[in-house]
Amino acid sequence: MRIHKISVHRISIPFNWQVSHNLYKGTETEAIVVVANDESGHTGYGEGTPRVFVTGETLNKTIETANSLAERLAANEFHTFKGLADYLEITGSLKLSQQYPSAWCAVELAILDLWAKGEGKPLWRLFAQKPAADPYVYSAVIPVVPEQSLSQLLNMVKKLRLEFVKLKIEDKDSGISTLKLVRENLGSDVDLRVDCNGAFSPDEAMAFIEEVQPFGISTIEQPVQKADVKGLGFVSSRSSIPVIADESMCTMEDAMQLIEQKACKGFSIKLSKCGGLIKCLKLLDIAKANGIFCQISCHIGETAILASAGRHFYALSRQCKYLEGSFSKYLLREDIVTKDISFGLKGHAPLLNGPGLGIEVDESILKKWITD
């Protein structure tokens, strides 16, 4: 495969409603799309969703970095997948790639999609002969929204008969009242977990955990601020509810620090914040070797590009407890593919077996939402 051209684009697609949590508030996507072409006429797509409160990446700097990384790959020729994978691993370990993981994620995914299309096989097949069994079961993720929107979302959860729900909260009092409302609406059988996005101090987190015991919470995610690994460990060692690290868990170094300090029971792995598929597969191995369960997560506003990549990632994992993503039709005004891949009834979604990412990007729709 000879890479002919790589282009980087900023995209912005409106949400169906305003969404927020303790660290984020938005009404539209904040993402980049990378498009890679080879000399045989194949096209590969990648996406990155920079979040300054997670990795320090601004959208403008992410675009600049993705262009710089793309220049390293453009005009290169690869004869074997091992040669390509080795090159991607080396490039992904560069300081620039590590500083801007969502930029590298977008570039890497575009190249992997391009290679897999050239081979005529699904992306997951590049790394394994057999996938994890499907159907794959997705969670609903409920952001902080006004009461009317919350009611609509809960009705949607009930209509789809979703079995797993994650609720984002902003503070103790509103969090408890919303949890009460959600549990009353959805019943006791739904697996309900809470994402705090660093809302509490360690002592506040423990007080919150004590008060939510009656609601049967399965996990609590990022109860303290990103940099407070010691505080995270304090909560994890005393909490009856397993603690998941999200903003505190972005890099290999983060993972090892969390393990060494016994700071959590679970990792929230996102392709964009963790720097692409190859790094995320390594994080899965590290977690498994150290008895850490994993949650494959997503950023709000991902299109079908990252959603499909997340499903291929899940196809390569066997110890993941929760799966998030693939809900663009429920959030985005319009996705950029010809066929929707969002999850359906009970959160189920099939394995993607088409070439590459297994999606067909509609170039006319993509161009519509490019804001370069």
pLDDT in tens, 176-235: 999 999 999 999 999 999 999 999 999 999 999 999 999 999 999 999 999 999 999 999
What is the pLDDT, as a whole number, of residue 288?
Answer: 95
Global pTM value? 0.95
Residues 180 and 85 in one domain: no
pLDDT band at 16 (very low <50, low <70, confident <90, very high): confident
Cβ-contact 136, 349 below 8 angstroms: yes
Longest dimension (CA), the chain: 60
Cβ-contact 48, 272 below 8 angstroms: yes
pLDDT, mean of residues 269-277: 98
Residue 231 inside a domain? The answer is yes
Residues 115 and 184 in one domain: no
What is the pLDDT, as a whole number, of residue 199?
Answer: 95
User: What CATH code is carried by the domain that includes residue 96?
Assistant: 3.30.390.10
Residue 62 inside a domain? The answer is yes
Identify the bridge partners of residue 268 per DSSP, sorted by sequence position: 295
pLDDT, mean of residues 240-267: 97
What is the pLDDT, as a whole number, of residue 26?
Answer: 73
Residues 104 and 206 in one domain: no
pLDDT tens column, 140-155 = 999 988 888 899 999 9
Does the N-terminal peptide bond of residue 131 adopt cis geometry, omega within 30 degrees of 0?
A: no
What is the pLDDT, as a whole number, of residue 334?
Answer: 95
Residues 69, 283: Cα–Cα separation, whole Å: 22
Lowest mean pLDDT among 75-79, 97-101, 309-313, 348-352: 75-79
Residues 320 and 181 in one domain: yes
Residues 256, 262: Cα–Cα separation, whole Å: 10
Q: How many CB atoms lie within 10 A of CB 58?
A: 13
Which residues constitute the domain of residue 109?
3-120+363-369
21, pLDDT greater than 70: no
Cβ-contact 137, 295 below 8 angstroms: no
What is the pLDDT, as a whole number, of residue 76?
Answer: 85
Residue 357 inside a domain? The answer is no
Kindly state the percentage of the chain with pLDDT values over 90. Answer: 88
pLDDT band at 29 (very low <50, low <70, confident <90, very high): confident
What is the pLDDT, as a whole number, of residue 352?
Answer: 96
pLDDT band at 28 (very low <50, low <70, confident <90, very high): confident
Residues 187 and 325 in one domain: yes
Residues 81 and 167 in one domain: no
Residues 345 and 214 in one domain: yes
Residues 75 and 193 in one domain: no
Residues 90 and 151 in one domain: no
Residues 31 and 157 in one domain: no
Q: How many CB atoms lie within 10 A of CB 91?
A: 17
Residue 71 inside a domain? The answer is yes
277, pLDDT greater than 80: yes
Residues 64 and 168 in one domain: no
Residue 78 inside a domain? The answer is yes
Residue 64 inside a domain? The answer is yes
- The highest-confidence range among 9-18, 67-76, 98-107, by mean pLDDT, is 98-107
22, pLDDT greater than 70: no
Residue 267 inside a domain? The answer is yes
pLDDT, mean of residues 19-39: 83
Residues 101 and 227 in one domain: no
User: What CATH code is carried by the domain that includes residue 157?
Assistant: 3.20.20.120
Residue 125 inside a domain? The answer is no
pLDDT band at 23 (very low <50, low <70, confident <90, very high): low
What is the pLDDT, as a whole number, of residue 234?
Answer: 98
Kindly state the percentage of the chain with pLDDT values over 70. Answer: 98
Lowest mean pLDDT among 73-82, 245-254, 337-346, 356-365: 73-82
Which residues, 6+ apart, have CB-to-CB distance to 166 below 8 Å?
A: 139, 140, 141, 142, 192, 193, 194, 195, 221, 322, 324
* Number of domains the chain contains: 2
